Amino acid sequence: MNRIAILSVHTSPIAAPGGKKVGGLNTYVREIAQEFAARGITVDIFTRRTSPDELNRDNSLGENINVVHVTAGPVSPLGSEAIYPHLQQFTAGVIAYTIRNNVTYDLIYSHYWLSGWVAQKLKEAWGTPFVQMFHTLGHMKNRIPSVQSHVPELRIRVETQVVEWADRLIANTPAERAQLLWLYHADRRKIIVNSPGVNTQRFSPIPQRDARDTLGISQDENLLVFVGRIEPLKAVDSIIEALHHVRETHPELMPNTRLAIIGGDPKDKTDLDMMALQRLTRELNLTDYVQFLGAKDQAALAKWYAAATTVIMPSEYESFGMVALEAMASGTPVIASEVGGLAYLVKHEQTGLLVPARSPQRLAQRIVQIITQPEGTAMMGQQAAAYAHQYAWPIIADNLLKDFNEMLAPRRRVRVAS
C-alpha cells in the first residue's frame, strides 16, 4: 500500500483543542495518519477550509502527511447539516487536487457520515474502495434524553446509505458492531472491530507528586478531573450535582476536594452550555470547589491526567471514550457511565468504576470510594496503565493495515491477472 486518502470533512486533525467539533475523531485521524506515514505510506487528509489563514496544503503533522484544506461553502465554521449542501463542491475539490498533483490512492478511509457521502462519490469517479468509520451513530444519539433535538432524518438517511456503500465498516467496539447490525442492517461480513488507540509515549504513568508539583497542586488534594467538550451529551452537570451530594453526605472530605473541568472556553458568554454549568455551580454554592480551566493541549493534558485522583466521564453516550483510555494509560482510574464504549473499555473495580448514566447520587458514592480507599485506587491505576498498553497506536495501526491489505488482496490479484 503506497497512498491513502483520509476524509475528515467536518473537522481537521490540526484544529486547536477545545472547539465544538474537536475531540476524539480529530485525535484518531491525526494519530493513525502518523502511524501510516511511519510505515512509509503517503497520507493525504482532506478537510473543509474554515479560515482564510489555513494553508492549501499543510505538512505540520510530519513527513508523508498532507492536510489538504478544500473550499466548500463559506470559509467559516459550519454545523454538520449546514455542510451537507456543499459536499459536491468538496468532492470536486478533492478530485481537482488529485489531477493537479497526479496522484491516485489505494484506499479511501472516511470518517463521520459527511465523509462517507464524499467517499462514495470518489469511489464512483475513481473505482477506489473505501472504508468507513462513523465515530458516533445518529440512531444512538436519538436514544439519549438530553439530546435536545433529534438527529435530523438527513443524517440517518445518509448513514444508512453509507453503510450499504462502504466496502468495509470499522466499529469501535463489539457494541458498536451490534448497533450497526441492529439499527442499520449492515452486512456483518463488512464489519471489522478495531478500536481507537492511545499514545503511550505521551500518556504514561508519571509520579503523581511530580505532576502536581508541575501544576502547583497540593499533594493532599482529592483532584477530580473532567476532560471533554462542553455539551449536554457529556453530562458534566451530573459531576457538579454529585459533588453537591458528597458535601451533603461526607462534608469532611470537601476541604481537600476539587473538580477541574477541562474543555471549552469559560469566558465565552455565547456558549450556553458553559454558562449553564457555571450557573449550576453558583446555585449549589460550589464555586470554591469547581474550576473551569478551558481547553488544554495534549502535553498539558498528560500532566492533568497524572495529577488526578480520578478522571470522571459521566457521558450519556460514547462510541468509545478516548479520554478514558488516555487517563488509564496515565495510571489514573476512571469513573465512567456504563454506556457505549465506556462500558466496554473501563473494567469495573479493575481499571476504574462504572455507574449508571445520569445518576449523581451513585456517582457521588463512587467518588467517595475513590477518595477513601487510596490503596484500592492506586491498584486500579496500576492495572489501568497495564491494560491500556494493548491499545498503543502502533498495535492499532498494524491491525488496521492488516485488515486493509486483506480487503485489497482480491483487487491486486485481478490486476496482476489482467
> Model confidence over 154-190: pLDDT tens digits?
999 999 999 999 999 999 999 999 999 999 999 999 9
Backbone angles phi, psi at 306, to 5 degrees: -70, -30
Residue 146 has pLDDT above 80, yes or no: no
* Helix residue ranges per DSSP H, 269-350: 272-283, 298-307, 322-329, 340-345
Helices 272-283 and 236-249 meet at what angle, rounded to 10?
10
What letter represents residue 107's amino acid? L
pLDDT per position as a tens digit, 384-401:
999 999 999 999 999 999
Report the alpha-carbon distance of residue 45 to residue 195 in Å, rounded. Answer: 20
Sign, Cα dihedral of 342, 8, 203, 302: negative
Q: Are 314 and 238 in contact (CB under 8 A)?
A: yes
pTM beyond 0.85, yes or no: yes
Using 50, 70 and 90 to split pLDDT, how confident is the model at 16?
low
- Give residue 412's pLDDT: 64
What letter represents residue 73's amino acid? G
Give how far Cα 297 sits from Cα of 86, 121, 291, 387, Å.
31, 35, 17, 24
Strands 65-70 and 107-111: unpaired
Using 50, 70 and 90 to split pLDDT, how confident is the model at 375?
very high
CA 97 to chain centre: 28
Backbone angles phi, psi at 266, to 5 degrees: -65, -10
- Give residue 416's pLDDT: 46
Backbone angles phi, psi at 224, to 5 degrees: -100, 130
Percent of the chain with pLDDT over 90: 90
Residue 249 has pLDDT above 50, yes or no: yes
Q: Identify which has the larger pLDDT, 197 or 1.
A: 197
What does the block give as the cell for 375?
490503596
Using 50, 70 and 90 to split pLDDT, how confident is the model at 409?
confident
Determine the average pLDDT of the residues in 65-73: 98
Q: Are 338 and 316 in contact (CB under 8 A)?
A: no
Distant-in-sequence, close-in-space partners of 190: CB < 8 Å, separation ≥ 6: 166, 167, 168, 169
From the CB of residue 360, how many other CB atoms can be counted at a distance below 10 Å? 20
Report the alpha-carbon distance of residue 5 to residue 16 in Å, rounded. Answer: 22
Sign, Cα dihedral of 6, 12, 15, 18: negative
Report the alpha-carbon distance of residue 68 to residue 250 in Å, rounded. Answer: 54
Reference 248, options 355, 365, 334; nearest CA is 365
Using 50, 70 and 90 to split pLDDT, how confident is the model at 29?
very high
Residue 417 has pLDDT above 60, yes or no: no
pLDDT per position as a tens digit, 348-369:
999 999 999 999 999 999 999 9
Q: Are 176 and 137 in contact (CB under 8 A)?
A: yes
